[in-house]
A and B are shown apart, each in its own frame.
Chain A
Amino acid sequence: QKEVEQNSGPLSVPEGAIASLNCTYSDRGSQSFFWYRQYSGKSPELIMFIYSNGDKEDGRFTAQLNKASQYVSLLIRDSQPSDSATYLCAVNSRGGADGLTFGKGTHLIIQP
């Protein structure tokens, strides 16, 4: 059974610091990895995706992927109070048009 694990938190980070969010997945054949942000009562919003081992940067966000360790992370630099939300890690196991397997999410709190 495919599983995606995340620490539920809450993770509390001071404003301006780096927030580090982690995710592990069980299906070694997984091909695509996504980070979504979800505010309370709202649907998920795509932050970024990563397919290859290594780092991928987009503005204040950096996704890191290590397939050997089955580990994905998201770094948020210069954290802002508006970054406070639940961050969902999602995995596409087969590639192509396949449904995503989501983790339960990490609740991030940025303290002003």
Chain B
Amino acid sequence: GAVVSQHPSRVICKSGTSVKIECRSLDFQATTMFWYRQFPKQSLMLMATSNEGSKATYEQGVEKDKFLINHASLTLSTLTVTSAHPEDSSFYICSASWTGDTQYFGPGTRLTVL
């Protein structure tokens, strides 16, 4: 149980384009979903927290107009990287929680912006 999927697993795009990443909880309803980012040799850094039907809460330093988060249902959250630039290249990982505490992570999306 507690399976979280992400799509796509890998994306390469040109600078200036927008990229949408989907995160789905497959066998449970996630009250809260989280988005993290991990640069090479670094740890995961929380970007934002989203609850179904509410606006996402962004961490300090994360541009909410650049990283658009939509949490339309209890099983789906999306992250859109708008006008992506090479410095946005990273490993984006979502997690989902139904207990309000333990988080289960998706497999991640590796974004490369050329």
Contact = CB atoms under 8 A, between A and B. Distances in A.
Interface residues of B, number: 25
A99 B46 contact: yes
Given A43-B107, A44-B44, A88-B43, A97 B59 contact: no
B112 interface: no
A34 B34 CA distance: 16
Contacts, number: 54
Interface residues on A, range: 20 to 34
A103 B101 contact: no
A49 B102 contact: yes
Nearest to B45: A102
Interface in B93-114: 93, 97, 100-108, 110
Interface of B: 31-32, 34, 36, 42-46, 49, 51, 59, 91, 93, 97, 100-108, 110
19 contacts: A36-B105, A43-B106, A43-B108, A44-B44, A44-B105, A46-B103, A46-B104, A49-B101, A88-B43, A88-B44, A95-B101, A97-B49, A98-B49, A99-B36, A99-B59, A100-B34, A100-B44, A101-B46, A103-B43
Given A43-B107, A96-B100, A99-B49, 20 more contacts: A32-B101, A36-B105, A42-B107, A43-B105, A43-B106, A44-B93, A45-B105, A96-B101, A97-B49, A97-B51, A97-B97, A97-B101, A99-B36, A99-B59, A100-B34, A100-B46, A100-B103, A102-B44, A103-B43, A104-B43
List the 9 closest A-B pairs by CB distance, nearest first. Answer: A99-B46, A97-B32, A43-B108, A102-B43, A104-B43, A97-B100, A43-B105, A102-B44, A96-B100
